Structures are given as structure tokens and as C-alpha cells.
A and B are shown apart, each in its own frame.
Chain A
Amino acid sequence: MSQSLDWNAALPAGTRARSRADAEPRWLRALLIAGCIVFLGLFLVLPLVAVFVNAFGAGLAGYAAALVDPMARSAIGLTLLVAAISVPLNTLFGVAAAWTIARFDFPGRNLLVSLIDLPFAVSPVVAGLVFVLLFGMQGVLGPWLTLHDIRIIFALPGIVLATTFVTFPFVARELIPLMQEQGSEEELAAVSLGASAWQMFRRITLPKIRLGLLYGIVLVNARAMGEFGAVSVVSGHVRGRTNTMPLHVEILYNEYQTAAAFAVASLLAFLAIGTLVAKSLLEWRLAKQSRADAGAQEG
């Protein structure tokens, strides 16, 4: 048989070639690979293709019309605005939390880590509900807010809060293991040489965690722009005012404007593809960096 059919041929250096006895027969490998490709094709590739095909269901003109529609434009604007507020907030929090948890030992540290993960265990709908119960008309603070004419639910602050809640753990979860792995020798050296806290953070910590931080930001951003359940509960679906892109997709779809719904959805699909590309690139660079770090430590 030719070389190209040998699936072990391209294994990375250092992996020993498997002998006949501890590897699957060739037909079984082909079957497993085929099964994997068919499964991923049906569940991942086909839906992705379907988004774009349906988006152009009303032709290029229909696609463009759906995107320049004033309601669509206001939804796009709101989604960008919400992400522009909640992503930096969660990033700032992620850095502070990771610095605390990865660099210091204190009582209750494990509890803190569990609490940071808490939003992942909460259904998005429940995440929206808690803000309604806090700030809604019948909520805990409802009467006071009404008295002072402050609107949080069915307005921008509620959407930002719900989005921030669901995307809360991402940056911290990326940074904590990374910073624990890197250790703090360089930071200690900088401080003992007289660097101020800000100098140490900007010159030493930030360059070291840059890639991991970017990785976390990419994930937070994708989730923040795409969040549906939590935002749906607090938004009130006021068209042109409190409709985000995913909510706009829902409205168009429920009104049987399928092509327009998919046109807006295709923008979110582009966001997803961009996220995957950025994620793969960052993963590749992170692996390279950690190999370089390991090499430097050995040397």
C-alpha cells in the first residue's frame, strides 16, 4: 500500500510508530475516521452552510435590505454597545481575580473559585430572572427605582447586567491556570529591584498573560454578542430600542421573514467563524509560548 494511506505517517516527532499489535486494523481506522467526519459534517458543517444558503434565500438584494433595515441596524448597534461595556468589565475583573487567586494564598480561596464558576451552573433564563426579581416593578428594589424614575429592566442597564452575569467567569477561568503555571519569579524579581506595582504589572505580568487574556476576551465577546436567553428575559423586546441581534433574529423568524432572519444570523455566524479562527491562532501561539518557557527553564 502507498504511504498516503498510512494514517500514522504524519504523527509528530517523538511519538513512536505503533506496532501492528497495539493499533487498530486499517479498516477500523477508516471506519472510525469516516464516522467522525460524517457526524461532524451533519452536526456542525451542514448547519453552518445552511445559515449562509438561507441568508441569500431572497437574493443578494434581499440580504443587503435585511441588514440595512433600521431595526436591524439598531439591533447591531445595541449588541456592539452591550459587548463594549460588559467585555471590558469582565476582563478587568478576570485579571484582578486571577491575580488574587494565582498569586496569593488566603482562607476561602477555593470557595472564591467555586463562586466565580457559579454563573456557568445557572440557566440563562434564571440569570435574566434574578435581575427582574431585583430591579423589576415587583422586584426587591422596584418601588424605589420607580420612585426615582430609573429604568433597569426592559432597558440598556438590564441587558448589560444580564450579559455580564452570563459571561462572568470566562476571562478569570482562562487566566487562573495560566498564571499558576507561569509562577511569579519574574514579578518577585521586578519588585525586589524596586519596580512599582504598576510597572511590574505593565512590564512583566501583562506581556506574560497577553495571549491568555486575548483568548479569554475572544470567548467573552462571542458569548456576550450571542447571548439569547438571559437578554430575552430582561429586554422586553422593544423594537429599535432594546432588541439585540439574537432577539432580532428571533422576531424575524417568528414573523416568517426567514431570509431576513438568516441574513442577520449570518452576521452572528461570521462572528462565530472569526472567533474560531482567533481561538485556533491563539491556541497555537500559546502552545509555542509554553514550549519556549519550558525550554528557557530547562536551559
Chain B
Amino acid sequence: MRAMPGSRRRSALPGFGPALGFTLFYLSLIVLIPLAALGMKTASFGWDSLWATVTSPRVLASYRVSFGTAFAAACANAGFGLLVAWVLVRYRFPGRALADALVDLPFALPTAVAGITLTTLLAKNGWLGRYLEPLGIQVAFTPLGITVALIFIGLPFVVRSVQPVLEDLEPELEEAAASLGASRWQTFRRVLFPALAPAVLTGFALAFARGVGEYGSVVFISGNMPMKTEIAPLLIVTKLEQYDYAGATAIAVAMLVVSLLMLVAINGLQSWSRAHERAV
């Protein structure tokens, strides 16, 4: 939350009671009560069986795949996202506005559409796959394919985190560095990068969090081989289809705990980055 000068209580305005009441009612109905059901069910299944599910080899392997590919994709997005944000903010070229608008495509395109399209492109006979196959690179139905799908899904997060920070950067900083004899690379490494790092990290964390839970774009390209390319969300679906509610719940709770920890970390990062901005 930004501390606004106008955030003091204004009892002169109407509607506080009904608006807060409706907000809390709707929040409870749609989000809190359903999540509480998850907690209740978890308690009723007993911790021993939950622990046994969560630590079984197949589940551990699915966590490795989910977190590993999400981490790799978020790293790639930190690099690509910084590049795209830099080019969009700093340079003018034909088609820049179009490129800027397209960056949000992964937010707007349904994940299932992204999933079947990327799979078709990267399969052995696909537009891209046929050129990668002779090089010995198989993308579809491997962890690399999952990573590619997650790069697609996570791209807007880093770009949209870095862009506003880059736009607000004072040109004086770079001019001062240059006039003191720094090379362009030194200026970037010592002056620009430290200023951008919190935004890159925030984008990284958001892309990572989204990637861990992503389902639609991944199930088509992953091939879903247990122990190899089976992601944790898919394992939840599989357990549900076998009516193994306890198993599905156990995997979900473990994922939820990690996601919540990440959310806390992201919020911390964002307030740290705002404090950092003010200091600069």
C-alpha cells in the first residue's frame, strides 16, 4: 500500500458500512470459505498420510519439475524482460508501439490456446521443431518444452515491472557517471543495474510464482511422463480423477504454503524496491 496523504479517515463520505460489508461478504463467499474448506479437509485427512503423500517419490519429482522449470523460465525472463523493457523505453523504432502492446499477449491469450500452439510449433514436424530436431534439440515433451511455455506465460511480468522504473530514472545519474569518465558498460553495471535490480527481482518472483502453479499452457507440451515431465498441478488433477481427494489435497496444501511464502516475499520486495526508489 502506498501511504497517501489522503488516506486518513473521511467519515463525511457515505457508504463505508455497506461497501465494507459487501466486500467482506463477497470475499468470504468466493475466497475465504472455499480456502477454509481446504484447511478443514487437510485436518480431517491427518498429518501422517499427508506427509506420506507429499514425500512420495512421484510427488517429489513433480515438485522438482514444477519448481525447476519455473525457476529456469523466470531466470530467462529476467534477462529477456530486461532487454525488452530497455529497448521499449530507451529506443524509438518502427513498430515500437505494436511491440509494447503485444507484450501483454500472454495475459490475454487463454493458456490452453498457448499450450496447443507452442506444442504444434515445437513438435518434431512443427515450424520450429523441424529445425531443432536435426540439431539434436528436442523441446516438446521435455522439461525444456515446459520451460519454453513458462517463458511465454511469464514474459509480461518482468517487462511490466521494469518499464515504469526505467521511465522514471533521472538522466542526470547517467550523465554524471559519464562525465566522471565511466564507460557505458560501467555506467550500466554500477549505476543503472542497481537501480533496476529490485524491479527485475519483483518481476522474477511474480513470473516464478505464476510458473509454479501454471497448468493450461504446460499440460500439452509437457508430455506428462511421471517422474520426468509431470508437473505438480497435473498430479493434483490425476489424483482427483482417481478420487484420491486426500492425495490431491496434500499436494495442493504444500504448493499453497510455498505460494503464500512467495507472496509474502514479493510484497517485501516491492516495499523494499519502493524504499530503494525513494533513496535514489
Contact = CB atoms under 8 A, between A and B. Distances in A.
B235 to A, nearest CB: 9
Contacts of A133: 34, 37-38, 41, 245, 249
B102 A122 contact: no
Contacts of B215: 123-125, 228-229, 232
User: Which secondary structure characterizes the binding site on chain A?
Assistant: helix
A272 B110 contact: yes
Interface stretch (A18-26, A63-71, A206-214, A290-298): A18-26
Interface string B1-42: 110101111101111101110111011001111110110110
Contacts of B259: 121-123
A19 B178 contact: yes
A150 interface: no
A37 B101 CA distance: 13
A23 B12 contact: no
Contacts of A103: 10, 13, 16
A29 B96 CA distance: 14
B118 A124 contact: no
Contact of B184 (A24, A113, A187): A24
Contacts of A44: 102-103, 105-106, 152, 155
Contacts of A80: none
A61 to B, nearest CB: 21
A32 interface: yes
Interface residues of A, number: 116
Interface of A: 7-11, 15-16, 18-19, 21-25, 29, 32-33, 35-37, 39-40, 42-48, 50-51, 54, 89, 92-93, 96-97, 99-100, 103-106, 109-110, 112-126, 129-134, 136, 138-140, 161, 164-165, 168, 177, 180-181, 183-184, 187-188, 191-192, 197, 200-201, 219, 222-223, 225-229, 232-233, 245-247, 249-250, 253, 258, 261-262, 265, 268-269, 271-273, 275-277, 279-280
Interface of B: 1-2, 4, 6-10, 12-16, 18-20, 22-24, 26-27, 30-35, 37-38, 40-41, 80, 83-84, 86-88, 91-93, 95, 97, 99, 101-114, 116-118, 120-121, 127-128, 151-152, 155, 171, 174-175, 177-179, 184, 187, 209, 212-216, 220, 233-234, 236-237, 240, 243, 245, 248-249, 252, 255-256, 259-260, 262-263, 267
27 contacts: A18-B171, A40-B103, A44-B102, A48-B105, A51-B113, A54-B120, A123-B255, A126-B213, A129-B240, A130-B34, A132-B245, A133-B38, A133-B41, A184-B13, A191-B14, A192-B12, A201-B15, A222-B108, A228-B112, A228-B215, A228-B216, A229-B214, A249-B110, A250-B116, A258-B120, A265-B116, A276-B101
Given A8-B92, A129-B248, A276-B101, 10 more contacts: A33-B91, A36-B99, A47-B114, A97-B27, A100-B19, A122-B35, A226-B113, A272-B110, A273-B108, A279-B101
